[in-house]
Structure 1
Amino acid sequence: MPAKVGMVKVLNVSNSSIFNIGDVYSMSPAASAKTFAGGGSFNTGNGIRININRSSTYVNDRELVDQSIINS
């Protein structure tokens, strides 16, 4: 059954996002990211104590493209 939609105001659609009005069969946004971080970087919670005397992150990435994203 077709969808009936009234007026819509779109202010912003960011990267790798989907905006759809009406009927849809399949939606699949795609994005990729590469993150390098040292020890204790992504800890979350209340009352976390981290003692890292020395922490170094060395990155030597010679690849220009790791994996391509193909939208079908």
Structure 2
Amino acid sequence: MPSIIAGPLKINSVGGGVVNFGDAFYLSPKSADKTNAGSGSLNTGDFINTNTGLSSTNPFDPDVSDQNVTANA
């Protein structure tokens, strides 16, 4: 189904990704990564105000592999 965008659209950045509007038969990731971030981080927007106090992040991952990218043309 075609897309109709009836208003402003803001894309801050696309780092090696795909932005698609409209019809798409098949979309698949070309890469996969993992980011560990504590509370109050990775916020996007124009006016950000976060009050998180003490934050701790545990980057331990017992299953090692979350999203395998294989046979992906």
TM-score of the aligned structures, taking structure 1 as reference length:
0.48
Q: Which has the larger radius of gyration?
A: 1
